[in-house]
Amino acid sequence: MTSNKKRRVVITGLGLITPLAVGVRETWDALCAGKSGIGEITRFDASEFSTKIAGEVKNFNPEDFLPKKDAKRTQLFIAYAVGASRMALENSGLVINGSNSHRIGVVTGCGLGGLAILEETSRTIDLKGPKRVTPFFIPMMIGNMAAGMVSIQLGAKGPNASPATACAAGTHAVGNAFRMIQNGEADAMITGGVESVITPTCIAGFNAMKALSTRNDDPEKASRPFDRDRDGFVVGEGSGIVILEHLEHALERGAHIYAEICGFGMSGDGYHMTSPPPDGEGAARCMAAAIEDAGISYDKVDYINAHGTSTPLNDFYETLAVKTVFKEKAHSIPVSSTKSMTGHLLGAAGGIETVFTALTIQEGIIPPTINLEHPDKECDLDYVPNVARKADVEIAMTNSFGFGGTNGTLILRKYRN
């Protein structure tokens, strides 16, 4: 007889490729030191663009993670996903083989997919005609190919999916993978988010919406969540991947446990294509749903990794949402936005920020919100300004909110027997 009791889910492996560094320890050390990964765009000539800065990944070689033949016909976002997944799997010590491959799956969130190859192919058609289009165009463009290639390269044959829920995609991916393990559909999952869209189309599109920072003369100061002088977000790229396992599976093989995932919430704003609703009502419901799912009271949360994009509306409404959920405790909870250092990785944001939240719990260090130099009177919480803080974090929350009013929140806690 099958038990209806949900299984506990733990994080046993971490992988990071970010504008700060390629690697978990290198990224984490830079994050805690308050370093910025933002600089001038080098991928294309941005001289005619209002925004000339981004968070590009440096010193990444796809052939370090993929066979040379595959690396040549793989878009960066796919290579980032494979690279971060290989890191996470190696870090976990989990071995995928013929006896367990069908019980190990992949869910990676991706917001925009292969914009670079889409732009390149459009030019090819215009200049050379449709017969010159590469047969690899569609596989290189579609966002779910990141999860597909991770599955192919690592041999994971369990559930395979790719949420495309904009800036909430990474968090939704982790949440969906968490549910699959809870419900017995898989024993382990490779999950997180990936994005690489530092392209003319992306920057021009966000510029047209007035969404990006134009602080081009001082790139490292451009991403400044909750600061009075914030003027928009900065596009970043990379991938953050975690290995999730049900607790007994992890314990049986003696795995190191970074943290336990205990709650996941989702909501829809039903309000506007790009703007959050007044008072952050949708975000508040999302956080409340995650807290309820975790079976904890709101006063047990010790830290919030905020969505914190550095846009005027998001930061203000997220602040209001935190106050709605946490009431009188809101001002005593440390809240920080790591996007101040990485930029906004769009569909990958929830992946890297799940890794950051797990490390906050394990390491007892809360990353800062850098560039918070001029407090905004409407953003009046404890944003851990500019300097990392030592803290014993038992339970932490991480938020992601996306265009279309799609929201996701995860609750992580310190693993206890």
pLDDT at position 273 is 83
SS3 389: strand
Class for the domain spanning 264-413: alpha beta
The 3-class SS string of 249-301 reads: HHHHCCCCCCEEEEEEEEEECCCCCCCCCHHHHHHHHHHHHHHHHHCCCHHHC
Q: Which of 172, 246, 249, 344 is catalytic?
A: 344
**Residue 269 pLDDT level (bands cut at 50, 70, 90):** confident
pLDDT > 60? residue 104: yes
Task: Please say if the pLDDT value at position 1 is more than 50.
Answer: no
Rounded Cα–Cα distance for residues 206 and 372 (Å): 23
Mean pLDDT, residues 363-385: 97
Same fold, 10-252 and 264-413: yes
Question: pLDDT of 127-171, one tens digit each?
Answer: 999 999 999 999 999 999 999 999 999 999 999 999 999 999 999
Give the percent of the chain with pLDDT over 90: 94
Q: What is the mean pLDDT of residues 291-296?
A: 98
Give yes or no: 307 in active site: yes
Residues 6 or more apart whose Cβ sits within 8 Å of residue 250: 10, 12, 257
pLDDT in tens, 297-356: 999 999 999 999 999 999 999 999 999 999 999 999 999 999 999 999 999 999 999 999
**pLDDT score, position 274:** 80
Query: Residue 264: pLDDT above 70?
Result: yes
Catalytic one of 167, 202, 262, 379: 167
pLDDT of residue 4: 61
Predicted confidence (pLDDT) per residue in 180-197, tens digit: 999 999 999 999 999 999
Q: φ and ψ at 212, to 5 degrees? A: -100, 150
Q: For the chain, what percent of residues have pLDDT higher than 70?
A: 99
Residue 272 bears catalytic tag: no
Tell me the average pLDDT across 201-227.
98
3-state secondary structure of 108: strand
Residues paired with 10 in a beta bridge: 245, 260
Query: Over the chain, what is the mean pLDDT?
Result: 96
Told to judge if 344 belongs to the known catalytic residues of this protein, a careful annotator would answer yes
Q: How far apart are CA 22 and CA 238, in angstroms?
A: 9
Q: Which of 172, 246, 249, 307 is catalytic?
A: 307
Q: Is the pLDDT of residue 261 over 60?
A: yes
Fold classification of 10-252 (topology level):
Peroxisomal Thiolase; Chain A, domain 1 (3.40.47)
Residue 375, pLDDT above cutoff 60: yes
Task: Measure Cα distances from 35 to 74, 81, 141 in Å.
Answer: 30, 24, 32
**Residue 5 banded pLDDT, cuts 50, 70, 90:** confident
Domain locations along the chain: 10-252, 264-413
- Average pLDDT on 384-402 reads 98
Amino acid at 386: N
To the nearest 10°, the Cα dihedral for 306, 307, 313, 319?
-20
